[in-house]
Amino acid sequence: MAQHGALSIVVDIKPGKKQELRDKFKEIEAAGIDTNSVVPFAKLTSIHFARFVVFDEGTDAYGKPFPARLSFTTNYDLPTDNHLKELIDNAGPGLWSIFSMCLKFPEGAYSAAKLSDYLKTSSIPTDTFYVGVGQRSVSQIRNENELREAIENYADAQKIEFKGKDAVYIRKKIVDFVNGNPKLQWAKTPAPKRSAGESAVFYGKLILVILLVIVLLPIIIPFVIVWMTLVLINEITTKDLVCKIDKNHVRTLVERENTIVQQQFSAMGNVKPGFLRKSTMLFLLRMTNFLAPYLFSKGKLSGIPTVQFARWLIVNDGKQMIFLSNFDGNSENYLRDFINIAGRQLTLMFCHTVGYPKTRLMWFGGAKDADGFMAWARSFQVISNVWYSANKTVTVKNIFHNAAIRDGLYGEMSEHEARKWLSKL
């Protein structure tokens, strides 16, 4: 059973090197993101998604300037050491050439050991990491999609033979086809599941936290009342920036959305000033990070059914929030899902950034102001200079659908069960 990691490297760019970096990424795009010689992503078998993003310099909510930054992030299959080794073995010199344009990078000729140390020390923890397609490796997702296609092609070729036959018979023929196909021998074994011991540990953590909260309720309740009162006062007294949509900026973003079924979203915004905002934001992000595997384990982030991976990063000592996601469909529908499906839940996360629509108690308002939300989201969305997807034609829905088809190859089925399974083809 695969587990996932989130490599997040956010570093300052050397003065005068920002445009050179952007030109480098244009060269990578022009040469082909999968096969370019700088970072040949297709050789990196542990990566689900990856991206390079150049964030412009700016001024934080305290009026202090911050430099341009480079972000390199991957969603990968653990273990981390194997992932880093694969990066260096297949793209070491290319990564060296990219990060050499950033501050605090080692001087001199290429060194795999120095690059490895740099990647490890420059990696920052994610404050919230969401996985919509958990427990599946890059290869499992690809293989199960190919399995479904092979079964569908076989079933189409056998239409005449299958005509009038019962579902149990047809299913047996499909199972025999899979078992007899040398390319599908891996499918003779069920996909790995969480063991009883792993499940006990997984749910045991949640139970312990719930019990601790219950014990501490007499302290927690008055503390929350006081804290929320302070938040409400802060919301009422804070004058927020009103964002406006730059149509040319939006057009540039949308034009980069290509024809594959997945897309990406990258954004960075200033966190509102003050200890209250920073500490509340960090608590909510980390609480979400803990609860996400329990509450959002079926491919739905707060009810949004299209998100494959997402992460929140707090950088510059809590002064900026970076949000990165990989999702199915296009960005317009994706943002509308934020408004219509998960407006209140995600408002809890985003309301601490400058320009977010006015809220009350971090729950009311916010994304319900659709025009204000869209203007805020597009204002802080930036171009992902290089974006890679390992399984470009597979949606969240496809992944769960393909897994159900594979699961249906094992054991016995009644006529009703077999008919229901065949309906997935």
Instruction: Please state the domain extents for the chain.
Output: 4-134+196-389, 144-188+395-422
Residue 373 pLDDT: 96
* pLDDT confidence of residue 297: 73
- Using CA atoms, how far apart are residues 55 and 402, in angstroms rounded to an integer? 37
Q: How far apart are CA 222 and CA 293, in angstroms?
A: 29
pLDDT tens digits for 310-320?
Answer: 999 999 999 99
Average pLDDT over residues 32-40: 97
Tell me the average pLDDT across 237-250: 92
Average pLDDT over residues 75-100: 98
| Average pLDDT for 366-390 | 96
**99 has a pLDDT exceeding 90:** yes
1: confidence class by pLDDT, cuts 50, 70, 90? confident
Q: What is the pLDDT of residues 163-206, one digit of tens each?
A: 999 999 999 999 999 999 999 999 999 999 889 999 999 999 99
| Predicted confidence (pLDDT) at residue 368 exceeds the cutoff of 80 | yes
Beta-strand pair 69-77/47-55: antiparallel
Q: Residue 100 — pLDDT band, cuts 50, 70, 90?
A: very high
Residue 259 has pLDDT above 80, yes or no: no
Q: pLDDT tens-digit profile of 275-320?
A: 999 999 999 999 999 999 998 877 778 889 999 999 999 999 999 9
390 has pLDDT over 90:
yes
